[in-house]
Amino acid sequence: MTVHRGHIFHIAGSPLVTEAVANLAHYQDGALVVDDKGVITWCGSWSELPAEFATATTVDHHGAFLLPGFVDTHMHFPQVWCGDSYGGGQLLEWLNNCIFPSESKLQDRGYAKAAAVEWVDRMIAAGTTNGLIFGSAFPHAQDFLFEEARDRGLRIVAGRGIQTTGPDSGHLLMTSEADAIRLTREEIEKWHPLDAEERRHALQFVAIVPRFSLSVTPTTLAALGDLYDEYRDKGVYFTSHLNENARPGTGEIDSTKAVYQVDSYLDTYDGKFLPGSKVGGKTLLGPRSVMAHSVHCTDAELARMAETGTSIAHCPVSQLFLGSGTLPWKRTVASGVNIAIGSDWGAGDEWFIPQVLNSCFKVHISERQPVGIDPYPSDDQSLSLHPAELLFTGTLAGARALALEDRTGNFDIGKEADFVVLDPSKWDMYDQTLTRMHQSDDPTTRRDAFLFAVIMLAREKALTETYVRGRKLETSTGPK
Ligand code: GUN
Ligand code: ZN
């Protein structure tokens, strides 16, 4: 039994984002009690620590914050060294000019191994205890990624990126349709915990990951629907991109609709990928399905995602980086779809989830619909996300998107202890601000402003420790 003593914030219970504020738990001098299996047995104020834990080993994180581990629901492993990519345009140019050639480099085993080591290092260094990862097309690279995550005790959900069609620049990433299905099945059989008991304790899982509809064909989607149906009840995941780039005519959304002749982009993942949105196969949507971006969804698409329990990985840094626009927060929340956060590393240039949440705050306070000459149109969508909503989106909403909310995402008793330590003494500006900032006389305002500063001003250098299931993780060069 270990007691971690520090300044604790988490979103308790199982609220919706609209209920996050009411569920914000805050213990300025707090205690998080973790048993030898890494399970949380108590969380509260140090002064109220039950006597039964008084003799437990105490780790005093004096002056530091303890937050639930960050959950990044959208990131690209083969883009580990692509954060700087300038594609001379938006999504499709960037993919063609930078990303397909860069991802092809993982064909080399040595490069792929180094990429996997670096990838897991970066997640641990950023306090990302759980990630839904778009994988490499190359099975050896996926093996390196899963081995590295397993050996270091990191939670991941990952799957090889599937491409069966597309431009020449991606030719090394493409396979035949038969090979795409075979390789995906082999990855599931090798790395996914197929046994229910094993699954209850597993940290690594597999997802089926067609890159996006433009990278596959109707027959690939039909075969993937059959494959997913075979493994759905074994907890296999599905993820892809949806409604990211709305450039008229030549952008991703219009191109997808033109190629498939469907009414809506979501239909292609929902079994309705034949012309006129006719049913051609089984749906890929469901409670373990995560659609990245979903910036430009119709009401019907949002309703269908809500109905099927599909989540959204909201990636505001990437949407700024690639000029993809802004997810309409109020409308998306109102639809009932769970919104989790994603760095979209590779298109996003930021690993550290508090900084992605920082961008999330900024893009939504800047939301205007429609964009016009009047900076304050009558249907102004600007909103000031509450810091509890930001914390929710970066932690519990991610656990929900990955159907792991019963095991992780907050500090409720019985959950596995995934948490990070943010130590302001490691960064003077952070420390000084938190010490000297104006403190309201009202305790709720004081708490909220403080959490806002803890999230918005955090930088990776203040992240000193990352724990998964009670175990402190190390980078390949040792403790951070
Ligand atoms: N759509 C298809 N592939 C990608 C990718 O690698 N990144 C992003 N952001 N969108 C995509
Ligand atoms: Zn992406």
Last residue of a domain, one of 382, 401, 420: 401
- Total domain count, the chain: 2
Q: Indicate whether 76 and 39 sit together in one domain.
A: no
Identify whether the C-beta of residue 202 lies closer than 8 Å to the C-beta of residue 193: yes
Last residue of a domain, one of 401, 425, 448: 401
Instruction: Please give all residues whose CB falls under 5 A of ion ligand 2, grouped by chain where several chains appear.
Output: 292, 344
**Rounded-to-integer distance, Cα 110 and Cα 302, Å:** 42
Beta-bridge partners for 311: 290
Q: What is the distance in angstroms between the CA of the first residue and the CA of the last residue of the chain?
A: 24
**Rounded-to-integer distance, Cα 200 and Cα 195, Å:** 9
* The residue count for the chain: 480
- The domain containing residue 474 runs over which residues? 2-67+409-479
Q: Indicate whether 135 and 59 sit together in one domain.
A: no
The response to whether residue 319 sits with its C-beta less than 6 Å from ligand 1 reads: no
CATH number for position 362:
3.20.20.140
* pLDDT, tens digit (0-9, with 9 covering 90-100), for 303-324: 999 999 999 999 999 999 999 9
* pLDDT, tens digit (0-9, with 9 covering 90-100), for 160-202: 999 999 999 999 999 999 999 999 999 999 999 999 999 999 9
pLDDT at site 369: 59
> 120: closest CA among 111, 110, 131?
131
**Rounded-to-integer distance, Cα 442 and Cα 323, Å:** 40
Last residue of a domain, one of 344, 366, 401: 401
Q: What are phi and psi of 345, to 5 degrees?
A: -45, 135
Q: Indicate whether 80 and 63 sit together in one domain.
A: no
State the Cα angle at 159 between 226 and 79, rounded to 5°.
Answer: 140
- 10-residue block means of pLDDT along the chain (480 residues)? 98 98 98 98 98 96 97 98 91 97 98 98 98 98 98 98 98 98 98 98 98 98 98 98 96 97 98 98 98 97 98 98 95 97 95 98 85 58 94 98 98 98 96 94 96 98 98 87
The response to whether residue 265 sits with its C-beta less than 6 Å from ligand 1 reads: no
Q: Indicate whether 120 and 78 sit together in one domain.
A: yes
Q: Indicate whether 52 and 123 sit together in one domain.
A: no
The response to whether residue 103 sits with its C-beta less than 6 Å from ligand 1 reads: no
**Rounded-to-integer distance, Cα 90 and Cα 79, Å:** 16
Look-up: residue for tokens 């109220």? 48
Q: Indicate whether 124 and 97 sit together in one domain.
A: yes
**Spacing, Cα 240 to ligand 1 middle (Å):** 9
The response to whether residue 74 sits with its C-beta less than 6 Å from ligand 1 reads: no
State both tokens at 310: 């599909």
Identify whether the C-beta of residue 209 lies closer than 8 Å to the C-beta of residue 135: yes
The response to whether residue 95 sits with its C-beta less than 6 Å from ligand 1 reads: yes
Look-up: residue for tokens 């594609």? 87
> 391: closest CA among 68, 127, 130?
68
State the Cα angle at 229 between 216 and 401, rounded to 5°.
Answer: 80
**Rounded-to-integer distance, Cα 40 and Cα 413, Å:** 5
Q: Indicate whether 63 and 37 sit together in one domain.
A: yes
> 125: closest CA among 62, 80, 160?
80
Helix axes 139-152 and 109-125, enclosed angle (nearest 10)? 40
The response to whether residue 364 sits with its C-beta less than 6 Å from ligand 1 reads: no
CATH number for position 57:
2.30.40.10
Q: Indicate whether 328 and 463 sit together in one domain.
A: no
State which of 212, 242, 322, 350 you would mutate to test the pocket of ligand 1, scoring each by most atoms of that ligand within 8 A of its C-beta.
212
Taking the CA of residue 213 as centre, how many other CA atoms within 13 Å lie in the half-sphere pointing to its CB? 32
> 351: closest CA among 186, 129, 96?
129
The response to whether residue 296 sits with its C-beta less than 6 Å from ligand 1 reads: no
Q: Who's near 246: CB < 8 A, 6+ residues apart?
A: 252, 253, 254, 295, 296, 324, 325
Q: Which ligand is nearest to the CA of 99?
A: 1
Q: Which ligand is nearest to the CA of 242?
A: 1
Q: Indicate whether 74 and 140 sit together in one domain.
A: yes
**Rounded-to-integer distance, Cα 473 and Cα 152, Å:** 6
Q: Indicate whether 357 and 465 sit together in one domain.
A: no
Q: Indicate whether 118 and 80 sit together in one domain.
A: yes
pLDDT at site 375: 55
What's this model's pTM, rounded to 2 decimal places? Answer: 0.97
Query: Can you tell me whether residue 131 is helix, strand or coil?
Result: strand
Ligand 1, residue 241: give the atom nearest the CA: 1
Q: Indicate whether 340 and 451 sit together in one domain.
A: no
pLDDT at site 115: 98
**Spacing, Cα 98 to ligand 2 middle (Å):** 14
